[in-house]
Structure 1
Amino acid sequence: MAMAGVGVGSTSTTSLPEEEITLTVKWSGKEYTVRVCGDDTVGELKRRICQATDVLPKRQKLLYPKTLPSKLADDAVLLSSLPFKSSLKMTMIGTTEDDIIVDQVESPDIVDDFELPRDEAVEIKDKHGNKQKLRRRISQYKIELRNPCREGKKLLVLDIDYTLFDHRSPAENPLQLMRPFLHEFLAAAYAEYDIMIWSATSMKWVELKMAELGVLSNPNYKITALLDHLAMITVQSDSRGIFDCKPLGLIWAQFPEFYSSKNTIMFDDLRRNFVMNPQNGLTIKPFKRAHSSRDSDQELMKLTTYLLAIAELDDLSTLDHNNWQSFSEDNVKRRRHQ
């Protein structure tokens, strides 16, 4: 929640990187309080500013005279490395989506996906600093339920861009960019799974796209919750640097009586989004060039069979979702008798 005119509570961020820092951000004639930590990045600072002002991170330009402009332009820079001083006030220049006439629902095109070495991936998941960031996110981000969690159901978490929707191809109607069999897939999955949508974009974009595709009003299934980019955290890899990911622990912490690592599966076209919960992620084939590929794309139909087959298992975290295409009912029978 935005508050006005509060300075920082620490003289330096370099010695205590996990200490909370309170910054005052001036924008559009008002001042907003933003709280971050020294081990957060500039990208995380922009998330918090977005939460207060509704200006998306990609629209923000941060100005602070004692900091090199290039530093504040690099989302990967740690705040502990910047010369922030007491009573810091910075200026943000940016425009909300409501004030942008063209391309109001523009979504970032995320590329350069990668798979981390196994040892490094385990280290990231178990790293104390990343667990701290997850705890902070759990306290900061409240998941709003659109429909009640259902007792005894597993949880399916779905990305949007290139998973359910081709967000880059031009079209007169968004339905032309919808992945084939989307509604059939969601209706079938809903029999065994609660469904949450988690996108690395703004909540406004998530709600708009899901409404345009008819996902929020379909009578054959219900969406439990929508999550946006503010629910993500930033982690650091020795080989790949700093990047964002989607920690399922956020969901598990807020609904522990319903969901856990044992009954959750997440579909995303970017495997790096699973780094905090690799055992629960399934990398879906990206849906691109919708006009030429929609007649042949059957990914959701095939995944329906897989989802319904594994729904009988007590612990989904023991599966290797990389091999989902070779999974069969015989696999289920063998695992149930182990």
Structure 2
Amino acid sequence: MSVSVIIKWGGQEYSISSLSEEDTVMDLKQSIKSLTGVLPERQKLLGLKVKGKPAEDEVKLGSLKLKPNTKIMMMGTREESLEEVLAPPPENDDVVNDFDIEDEVIEVENREENLAKIARRVKDYKVEELNPPREGKRLLVLDVDYTLFDHKSCAETGQELMRPYLHEFLTSAYEDYDIVIWSATSMKWIDAKMKELGVTDNPNYKLTFMLDSAAMITVHTPKRGVVEIRPFMKAHLNREKDKELYKLAQYLKEIAKLEDFAGLNHKHWERYLSKRQHH
């Protein structure tokens, strides 16, 4: 019986339907190599497990009970992309291959494929500094869509889709943080939107720089340093009652007093703020 899977890697999907249940995980990896160029020993196939542990190369695909067109995420990088990041120091024969270590042991930020992505972005992406970073200020990165702006609703002007308290929020945040604007779109769109909303040249705060989709890398990791707020949608209906930025400004002001953010769980930011306000 044939086995069909879809491999997700590098923002693309690769369909494989030439294998049978008698083929092994290594056969699957070889098929992936022919499509992506990633060597089998560089591949990590997430979700392929036997009794809770990653499936070994000799395990037959039939024993994995895969449903037709099961989607499998692969982590791995082509050999040539790793050269700059992974090249061992001169005369060093004791280089440890991270892929010899169990998945759970390797921190996501230390995985070689992610280091390669970061190295590539640092090398190729040019950040245009709008205003210099200030000594002693933390960095606050803000997404545009649904955080600062309702980008799906229709309106005559962008001002009608601007989230309530936007300028008050940015003015307050600027007292303790350098501000960066980010969006998974083009810089042309981001620049136009910030100008339309009156953010770029506001006299009460300044932007340090802006980042577009070209600065992104895809890494599946536990969320660290991310504060999630309710999305601002259907601006015409919710404009009068949305107070997320007003509350977020208070939270950022409270935690700015801390020397270290390592112990914070931003998932419960509203609970943290409520406790502080009642002390």
Identify the TM-score tier after normalising by the shorter chain: 0.5 to 0.7
What's the CA shift for 1:131?
2.1
- Measured at CA, do residues 156 and 79 of structure 1 come closer, stay the same or move farther in structure 2, by a change above 3 Å? closer
Q: Tell me the distance in 2 between the aligned counterparts of 1:187 and 1:80.
A: 42
Counterpart residue number, 1:306: 251
Q: Scaled by the length of structure 2, what TM-score is found?
A: 0.61
Q: 1:323 aligns with which of 254, 260, 268?
A: 268
Query: Is the 2:141–2:180 contact (alpha carbons within 8 Å) kept by the matching residues of 1?
Result: yes
1:100-119 map, 5 Å: none
1:167-316 map, 5 Å: 167-235=151-219, 275=221, 278-316=223-261
Aligned AA (2:195)? A
Q: Tell me the distance in 2 between the aligned counterparts of 1:18 and 1:308.
A: 48
Query: Is the 2:149–2:161 contact (alpha carbons within 8 Å) kept by the matching residues of 1?
Result: yes
Is residue 2:143 matched to residue 1:159?
Answer: yes
Counterpart residue number, 2:65: none
Q: Tell me the distance in 2 between the aligned counterparts of 1:18 and 1:153.
A: 43
Query: Is the 1:147–1:224 contact (alpha carbons within 8 Å) kept by the matching residues of 2?
Result: yes
What's the CA shift for 1:135?
1.7
- Measured at CA, do residues 213 and 17 of structure 1 come closer, stay the same or move farther in structure 2, by a change above 3 Å? farther
Which structure has the greater CA radius of gyration? 2
- Measured at CA, do residues 298 and 134 of structure 1 come closer, stay the same or move farther in structure 2, by a change above 3 Å? same
Superposed structure 1 runs of 4+ greater than 3 Å apart: 15-19, 76-81, 122-126, 328-332
Aligned AA (1:127)? R
- Measured at CA, do residues 80 and 126 of structure 1 come closer, stay the same or move farther in structure 2, by a change above 3 Å? closer
What's the CA shift for 1:78?
9.4
Query: Is the 1:159–1:198 contact (alpha carbons within 8 Å) kept by the matching residues of 2?
Result: yes
- Measured at CA, do residues 216 and 123 of structure 1 come closer, stay the same or move farther in structure 2, by a change above 3 Å? same
Q: Tell me the distance in 1 between the aligned counterparts of 2:40 and 2:259.
A: 40
- Measured at CA, do residues 139 and 16 of structure 1 come closer, stay the same or move farther in structure 2, by a change above 3 Å? farther
SS at match of 2:116: helix
Aligned AA (2:227)? L
Cα distance per residue 1:296-326 (max 9 Å; x no partner):
0000000011000100111113200011001
Cα distance per residue 1:175-227 (max 9 Å; x no partner):
00000000000001101110000100000000000000000011000011000
What's the CA shift for 1:15?
5.6
Q: Scaled by the length of structure 1, what TM-score is found?
A: 0.51
Q: Tell me the distance in 2 between the aligned counterparts of 1:132 and 1:146.
A: 28
Structure 2: stretches of 5+ with no match in the other structure: 1-34, 45-72, 79-102
Q: 2:111 aligns with which of 122, 127, 136?
A: 127
- Measured at CA, do residues 282 and 78 of structure 1 come closer, stay the same or move farther in structure 2, by a change above 3 Å? closer
Structure 1: stretches of 5+ with no match in the other structure: 1-11, 20-37, 40-75, 82-118, 238-274
What's the CA shift for 1:284?
1.6
Over the residues paired in the alignment, what is the CA RMSD in angstroms? 3.4
- Measured at CA, do residues 15 and 197 of structure 1 come closer, stay the same or move farther in structure 2, by a change above 3 Å? closer
Cα distance per residue 1:121-159 (max 9 Å; x no partner):
x85444321122112111111211100100011111000
